[in-house]
Every structure is written in C-alpha cells, then in structure tokens.
C-alpha cells in the first residue's frame, strides 16, 4: 500500500524523502520544493516509527522554522509537534540554558543584540583609551563576530594578527579580550557566543557530546550553503555516532560570505562524507520558463558550482523585461507607473509586487514616489519594532530585572524617565565599579565613596527601591504583569503623557503593542518565564514579521529576499559599480557571489521580472554616468530601450498605451525633454533598439583618446548630441564619455 506521505512528490523529491539512512545532500534549486521535501522526509521518518525527539532539524530564520513545524504537524498531527525544528541560534540557546550547571554558565544569561554589543565595545574603548575616530565600533563588532563564527578566541585572534604583522588586528584582539571579560562578568552572551559556546561545551565535555549524539539519530540542516565554520563544526560533532545527516541547499544561492558563510561547506560535503548520496531538485514550481531561462543564463557564468538546470511545467505566460531610466528618480517613476497600471485594472494586488535593490540607500526614491501616489508599502530590514527607542527602554528594564549585572541595560534605564542622574555622576559610579570589579548596580550603596553629589545619591537610591520592587515580581508575576508595572510605576508612561506630542502618542501606541505581543507570547510559548521571553525576543529577525498577505508593496535589499516569492519583481539599480557593487568586478570570488545574489533576486519572481537600470545616478551628492550591469547582458539582453514611436507600433493593449502616454510620458517629457528612453513591456524576451544611429562610433571598433590612449568601444547609449560611449582602454580602465566632446580618433 502506498504511503500517503510520499504521494504527490516528483521522482527526485521522492528519492530524497525515501533516503533515510546515511549521509544525504539535496541540491535544491530555487523554487523546487525544498521545504516540502524536508517536511515530508521528517513525516516519513515518523511513519517508520522513529521517535520524534530523536530528530533535529535546523534552519536560519524563525519564519522558515515555523513553516516547517506547521507543515510537519499537519502531516503527522500530535507526534510531529515533538520534533525539534528551530534556527541554529534557538537550538543553541536551548542547549546552553538546559546545560548551564554542567558547563559553568549563569542560568540567567542574557543575549545581547548588535546595539548592546556596540555599547559594550564603547566601554572597552573608554577603558583602553582607544580613539573611536580611528576604529569604527561597528567594524570591531563585526570582526569579533567573524572570529566567533570561526571559533577563534581572543588569543587566537591576537596570535594570527601578530604573525601577520597586523596592528589593527592586534588592537582588535585586545578589545575582543576585554569585551569577552565584560560579557562574562555581566552574564551575557552575544549571537556568536550561542553557537561557539555550544561547540566548545560539546568538545570539552565528552559525556555531554555522547548524550546528544545518542539523542539525535537523524539530523537535517536547511540552507546548508549558508553555514559558517561554527555551525559546520556543531553539525559534524552531533552526527558522528549515527551519520544520518541530511543537508539541503543550493550553492547558487550562497550570498552571505560577508557574515561568515562558507560555500565550501556544501561543495565539499561529499568529501566530508564519502558515502553520501546526492539528489538534485531541478523542477521549479514557482516561476515561468522565461524567468528560469534568464536566471540560468546568469548563474552559469560562475565556475565553482554544482551544475543544475532549472526547468518547469508552468505555463509560459510571464515576461522578462528591461526598464531603462534617465536617473534614479525616473527609475522610481517608471516602477510606480507600471505598478499603478497593473493594480488599477485589478490584475494584481499591491502585495504581488516587490522592489529589490543592492543597498538600503536606494529605497529613498521609491519611498518618495510611493508616498506621492499614495501607494502602501513596507520596508524590510530597516528599523525593527524591537529596535525602536521606547521598546528598547522597556526591554532594558526587563533584562535588568532578570540580571542586575547587566551594565548596558542599567545605563540605558537609570535616567529614563529623567531622575536627575547626570553623565558625570554615572561616570563616577561606573569608574568606581570598574576599580572594585563589581557591577554598577552593586556600586550604588557606595555612591558617596565614589564621590557622587547628594542629589544624585538620593536619585540612585530611589531608583534602586523601584528596581527591587520589580525584582520581587520576577518569580511571582507573569511577564505581562511585570511589563505593565514597569511602564506605570517607573514613571515612563507618565513622562510620555506629559509630553503630549504626536511622537509621544506614537510611542505610547507602540508600548501598548508591546504588551499585546507579550500577551501573545504567553498564549503560544511553553516557557512563559521572563527568561523564556527575553530569549525569544533576542532571536527575532527582520523577516519574522513580514506578512505577504497584506496589501502593501515590499521593499528590501536583495540579501533579505531569499525564501520569498512574488508575482512581480523589480530588480533595481542594475549598474556596474552598484550591482555588482564597488570593486567586486575585479575579485573573482566576490563577483561570483554578486552573480549568485542576482540569481536569487531573479528567481523570486513568479510571473514577471523587471530588470531596471539608470543612465545616471546621484550617490552621496555626486552624479555619475552608469554602464548597465554585466548581469543584463549575461541574462541575454541588450540594455537599450525604444522611443515612444516604436511603442505605438507594437500591438499592445490600448488602455496601456493611453495610460502610459497620458501619465508617464507627459511627466517624463516635461522633466527630461531630451529623454526618449521608454520601457516596453514584452511577452517575449525582446528589447527594442533606439532611433537610428548614424554616428561612426560602433561597438567593437578601436579609438584613440588624447589622455587615456588606445581603447575599444564596448557600450553606447543615446543618439546625436546625447551619444555616450563606454570605452575600455589598454590600461584596463573603462571610461564613459560624451562622444561630441571626447575628441576620439577612429583607428
């Protein structure tokens, strides 16, 4: 009798699901049903009588983990709920909390976010007399995080820097050492510590390692191409007894090397596990054939990859098109006009559109354009709800109540709301605490000895009394009740009400939303403790709150786009120097990752893909002429656009022509009277050429410049007095030149 859990799977998916024993690697192309395979494989294992608590599945986002949990529960009700499915960080936080007594770790440890880390580093700078102007704090945080990803201790970093003669590295190692001491004294871990401390615990305590190796007989890792050294080592430690490891991923979607991900982990899997079975998922269920063809065209230019050719049985009813704009504002107008058209005729909802870009700064022109027209949108990856000042204030109170050694939270809340405790008094108290090796909270009874004035001493004592009352609630009240007491009894709410400004009212609304969120946590979570709540919030990511069903256009950087899909996708800013970004074009590995990022963006599109570039763009106040991204050419296009006359000749819907002429072209003509570039929506991969060019400058011919020397014309744009040429010179430089003033000689 056929197992219902293996029905409706294609042959490759079925092969992966039925392979339960030994190492297995699933190369899952974009949109090929990766999550379906993982969840059906877990359900199939359960149907064979495998105990749910012996299965561990890890991925990278809470959203992905939640989706997997829901699918497994639907496939195997009740039993499926007992399988551990989570992010790497959630699993490690659970492990560390459970094993604190065995590994010499404070059970009430806090998890510091990026903001907390920066504050601790700032204190390190102060103690070490390091000039913040010479060493950027965020860079130091990043270097320390990368060290932990690579399982490097402060001494490891110092030795490496000394051997390399790296003075900056030596200073960073000194900061890292002090930073770590401060975390240990506070009883705090950062994100890097969660995995590094778990790995070290398993390495240093053989009995602990043996217990978890016996416990987890089947381990599955999603997005394996995104694993770093620490995550790779963690998985390798856990599987050494049973070797029933299944990893799933796509080397063509490895785009996080800048945060420690090592593509070699997936490429070398079969070297690590010589008996591994390999399965490729190549049938795509998301996109149209045209989108897959152009995406394949781009990514095949990378050399170091596992060969895959995505294909689909989806109808060939979509399109891939180029939008060429005069500048970044024109780019935004064209995108907005096209979205307006497609939503006004009820063809699509706003939630069917996504605008992707390479850098956060590119969002501004789209935001301005959407606001002017009144189109709703949401930006992913900017200020999160939990990063807002008022929310971080309340969270700091909760964290400090949980662990009074938390100097970062103490300094945030001690004068919020205002209590008359100035910076000078706080510095005196902190310096005294450092000299005695105690926390700032522990130093309060010695405020007079520390040299604080009487007013500050009284204010601190009053603050201490409030905090002690909150601490007494820690084990006697719910998290929601504690938070409500903090908001009212601390004076925080009263101060906002007294302000009586629009901004203050918004802050109050956000705090009320926080209480609702806590209430929701208490309904959903099995661990309703303050510790459980703080752990959950520390692990929240930007994408966890994304609701694609809401009627808003989604704006985000390409790095956040993985795992998402939209009917219509705009890839914007496709220009050399912007995407691929900076000098990456001259570094093969960096260029390969930029190309994979392009592939990720392209394969988010289900129906229509629009690749956008602007002939000039203002960046940091300077306007630059641009060369279209090589990715446009690699996709099989020429980045030239037809004028309005050619559009009229095409057999397009009359409503479209009328809409575009009346709405966009009039605005464009008024703003850019010499601009004849225009977007052509096509049902094929055609991009029409501009008005006839009669100049002697042809692509491929050689020219000589009085300053730059001999070169070859590799791109051209515009006609007549507006003709611009891109010339690649023998020096390796390329220049964009206005033909009428460039003084070029034909060779």
What are 452-496's pLDDT values in tens digits?
999 999 999 999 999 999 999 988 899 999 999 999 999 999 999
CA–CA dist 101, 625 (Å, integer) = 62
Give the pLDDT confidence score for residue 545 in this predicted structure. 53
Please determine, for residue 663, whether its predicted confidence score (pLDDT) is greater than 50. Answer: no
Q: What is the pLDDT of residues 192-239, one digit of tens each?
A: 999 999 999 999 999 999 999 999 999 999 999 999 999 999 999 999
Give the pLDDT confidence score for residue 743 in this predicted structure. 84
Give the pLDDT confidence score for residue 722 in this predicted structure. 79
Give the pLDDT confidence score for residue 116 in this predicted structure. 92
Question: Of residues 686 and 431, which shows the higher confidence score?
Answer: 431
Please determine, for residue 550, whether its predicted confidence score (pLDDT) is greater than 70. Answer: no
Give the pLDDT confidence score for residue 624 in this predicted structure. 80
Give the pLDDT confidence score for residue 383 in this predicted structure. 60
Please determine, for residue 642, whether its predicted confidence score (pLDDT) is greater than 60. Answer: no
Q: Which range has the worst mean pLDDT, 28-37, 39-48, 683-692?
A: 683-692
CA–CA dist 257, 451 (Å, integer) = 49
**Residue whose token pair is 């920066």:** 118
Please determine, for residue 640, whether its predicted confidence score (pLDDT) is greater than 80. Answer: no
Average pLDDT over residues 380-395: 81
CA–CA dist 166, 638 (Å, integer) = 46
CA–CA distances in Å: residue 6 to residues 2, 16, 24, 27, 36: 8, 10, 18, 19, 11
Average pLDDT over residues 687-700: 63
| Band of pLDDT at residue 677, cut at 50, 70 and 90 | very low
| 604 labelled catalytic | yes
| Band of pLDDT at residue 384, cut at 50, 70 and 90 | low
Give the pLDDT confidence score for residue 141 in this predicted structure. 93
Q: Which range has the worst mean pLDDT, 245-254, 434-443, 666-675, 719-728?
A: 666-675
Average pLDDT over residues 371-397: 84
Average pLDDT over residues 339-354: 91
Average pLDDT over residues 176-189: 95
Average pLDDT, the chain: 87
Q: Which of 99, 108, 116, 223 is catalytic?
A: 223
| Band of pLDDT at residue 689, cut at 50, 70 and 90 | very low
Average pLDDT over residues 39-45: 96
Give the pLDDT confidence score for residue 312 in this predicted structure. 96
CA–CA dist 271, 265 (Å, integer) = 10
| Band of pLDDT at residue 657, cut at 50, 70 and 90 | very low
Percent with pLDDT over 70 in the chain? 89
Please determine, for residue 52, whether its predicted confidence score (pLDDT) is greater than 80. Answer: yes
Please determine, for residue 595, whether its predicted confidence score (pLDDT) is greater than 90. Answer: yes
Average pLDDT over residues 537-561: 75
Please determine, for residue 690, whether its predicted confidence score (pLDDT) is greater than 50. Answer: no
| 34 labelled catalytic | yes
Question: Which residues lie closer than 8 Å to 433 by C-beta, 6 or more apart?
Answer: 407, 439, 440, 442, 443
Average pLDDT over residues 671-684: 32
Please determine, for residue 275, whether its predicted confidence score (pLDDT) is greater than 80. Answer: yes
pTM (two decimals): 0.78
Q: What is the pLDDT of residues 618-627, one digit of tens each?
A: 765 667 888 8
Give the pLDDT confidence score for residue 646 in this predicted structure. 26
Give the pLDDT confidence score for residue 100 in this predicted structure. 92
| 638 labelled catalytic | no
Average pLDDT over residues 100-106: 90
Q: Residue 281 carries which DSSP code?
A: E
Q: Which of 34, 280, 334, 507 is catalytic?
A: 34
Q: Which range has the worst mean pLDDT, 404-418, 570-584, 639-653, 727-741?
A: 639-653
Q: Which of 604, 617, 716, 724 is catalytic?
A: 604
Q: Residue 246 carries which DSSP code?
A: E
Q: What is the pLDDT of residues 117-136, one digit of tens each?
A: 999 999 999 999 998 878 88
Give the pLDDT confidence score for residue 149 in this predicted structure. 96
Residue 322's CB is within 10 A of a number of other CB atoms, namely 25
Q: Which two tokens stand for residue 643?
A: 């004028």
| Band of pLDDT at residue 583, cut at 50, 70 and 90 | confident
Give the pLDDT confidence score for residue 546 in this predicted structure. 53
Q: Which range has the worst mean pLDDT, 519-533, 647-661, 684-698?
A: 647-661
Give the pLDDT confidence score for residue 490 in this predicted structure. 93
| 352 labelled catalytic | no
The answer to whether the beta carbons of residues 701 and 682 sit under 8 Å apart is: no
Query: H helices within 618-681, ranges in order?
Result: 630-634, 644-649, 654-659, 666-671
CA–CA dist 240, 313 (Å, integer) = 40
CA–CA distances in Å: residue 497 to residues 390, 484, 506, 604: 13, 15, 11, 45
Percent with pLDDT over 90 in the chain? 63
Give the pLDDT confidence score for residue 736 in this predicted structure. 80
Would you tell me the crossing angle of helices 191-204 and 229-238 to the nearest 10 degrees? 40
Q: Which of 222, 262, 352, 593 is catalytic?
A: 222
Give the pLDDT confidence score for residue 229 in this predicted structure. 97
CA–CA distances in Å: residue 252 to residues 223, 230, 593, 600, 680: 11, 22, 9, 8, 30
Q: Which of 233, 253, 312, 615 is catalytic?
A: 253
| Band of pLDDT at residue 155, cut at 50, 70 and 90 | very high
3-state secondary structure labels for all residues of 563-607: CCCEEEEEECCCECEECCECCHHHCHHHHHHHHHHHHHHHCCEEE
Give the pLDDT confidence score for residue 509 in this predicted structure. 83
Q: Which of 6, 15, 20, 35 is catalytic?
A: 35
| 382 labelled catalytic | no
CA–CA distances in Å: residue 221 to residues 224, 245, 393: 6, 8, 36
| 35 labelled catalytic | yes
């Amino acid at each position: 009798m056929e197992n219902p859990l293996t029905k409706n799977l294609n042959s490759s998916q079925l092969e992966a699901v039925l392979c339960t024993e030994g190492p297995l690697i699933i190369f899952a192309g974009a949109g090929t049903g990766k999550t379906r395979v993982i969840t059906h494989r877990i359900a199939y294992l359960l149907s064979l009588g495998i105990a749910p608590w012996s299965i561990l599945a890890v991925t990278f986002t809470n959203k992905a983990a939640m989706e997997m949990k829901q699918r497994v529960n639907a496939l195997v009700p009740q039993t499926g709920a007992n399988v551990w499915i989570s992010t790497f960080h959630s699993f490690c936080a659970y492990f560390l909390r459970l094993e604190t007594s065995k590994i010499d770790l404070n059970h009430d440890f806090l998890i510091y976010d990026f903001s907390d880390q920066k504050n601790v580093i700032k204190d390190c700078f102060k103690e070490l007399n390091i000039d913040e102007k010479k060493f950027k704090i965020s860079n130091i945080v990043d270097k320390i995080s990368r060290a932990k990803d690579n399982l490097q201790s402060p001494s490891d970093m110092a030795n490496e820097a000394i051997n390399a003669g790296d003075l900056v590295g030596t200073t960073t190692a000194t900061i890292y050492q002090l930073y770590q001491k401060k975390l240990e004294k506070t009883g705090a871990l950062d994100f890097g510590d969660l995995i590094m401390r778990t790995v070290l615990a398993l390495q240093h305590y053989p009995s602990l390692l043996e217990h978890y190796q016996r416990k987890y007989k089947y381990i599955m890792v999603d997005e394996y191409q995104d694993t770093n050294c620490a995550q790779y080592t963690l998985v390798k430690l856990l599987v050494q007894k049973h070797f029933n490891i299944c990893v799933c991923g796509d080397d063509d979607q490895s785009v996080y090397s800048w945060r420690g991900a090592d593509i070699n982990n997936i490429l070398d899997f079969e070297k690590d596990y010589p008996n591994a079975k390999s399965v490729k998922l190549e049938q795509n269920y998301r996109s149209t054939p045209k989108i897959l063809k152009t995406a394949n065209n781009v990514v095949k230019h990378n050399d170091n990859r596992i060969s895959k050719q995505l294909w689909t049985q989806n109808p060939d009813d979509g399109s891939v098109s180029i939008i060429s704009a005069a500048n970044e504002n024109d780019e935004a107008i064209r995108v907005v006009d096209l979205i307006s058209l497609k939503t006004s005729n009820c063809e699509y909802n706003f939630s069917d559109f996504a605008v992707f870009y390479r850098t956060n700064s590119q969002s501004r022109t789209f935001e301005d354009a959407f606001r002017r027209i009144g189109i709703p949108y949401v930006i992913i990856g900017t200020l999160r709800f939990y990063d807002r000042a008022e929310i971080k204030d309340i969270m700091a109170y909760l964290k400090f109540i949980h662990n009074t050694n938390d100097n970062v939270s103490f300094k945030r809340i001690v004068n919020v709301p205002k209590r008359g405790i100035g910076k000078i008094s706080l510095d005196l108290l902190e310096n005294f605490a450092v000299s005695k090796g105690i926390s700032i909270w522990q130093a309060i009874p010695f405020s007079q000895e520390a040299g604080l004035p009487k007013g500050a001493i009284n204010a601190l004592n009053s603050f201490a009394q409030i905090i002690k009352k909150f601490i007494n609630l820690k084990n006697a009240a719910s998290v929601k009740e504690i938070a409500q007491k903090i908001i009212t009894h601390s004076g925080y709410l009263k101060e906002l009400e007294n302000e009586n400004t629009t901004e203050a009212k918004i802050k109050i609304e956000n705090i009320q939303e926080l209480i609702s969120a806590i209430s929701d946590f208490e309904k959903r979570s099995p661990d309703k403790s303050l510790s459980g709540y703080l752990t959950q919030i520390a692990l929240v990511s930007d994408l966890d709150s994304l609701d694609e069903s809401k009627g808003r256009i989604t704006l985000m950087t390409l790095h956040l786009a993985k795992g998402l899909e939209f009917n219509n996708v705009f890839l914007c800013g496709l220009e050399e120097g912007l995407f691929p970004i900076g000098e990456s074009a001259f570094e093969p590995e960096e260029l390969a990752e930029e190309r994979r990022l392009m592939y990720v963006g392209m394969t988010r599109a289900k129906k229509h893909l629009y690749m956008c570039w602007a002939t000039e763009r203002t960046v940091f106040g300077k306007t630059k002429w641009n060369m279209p991204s090589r990715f446009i050419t690699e996709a099989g296009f020429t980045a030239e656009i037809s004028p309005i006359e050619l559009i009229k000749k095409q057999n397009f819907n009359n409503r479209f022509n009328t809409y575009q002429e009346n709405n966009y072209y009039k605005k464009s003509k008024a703003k850019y009277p010499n601009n004849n570039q225009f977007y052509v929506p096509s049902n094929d991969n055609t991009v029409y050429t501009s008005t006839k060019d009669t100049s002697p400058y042809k692509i491929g011919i050689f020219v000589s410049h009085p300053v730059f020397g001999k070169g070859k014309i590799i791109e051209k744009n515009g006609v007549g007095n507006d003709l611009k040429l891109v010339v690649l010179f023998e020096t390796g430089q390329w220049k964009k030149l206005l033909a009428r003033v460039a003084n070029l000689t034909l060779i």
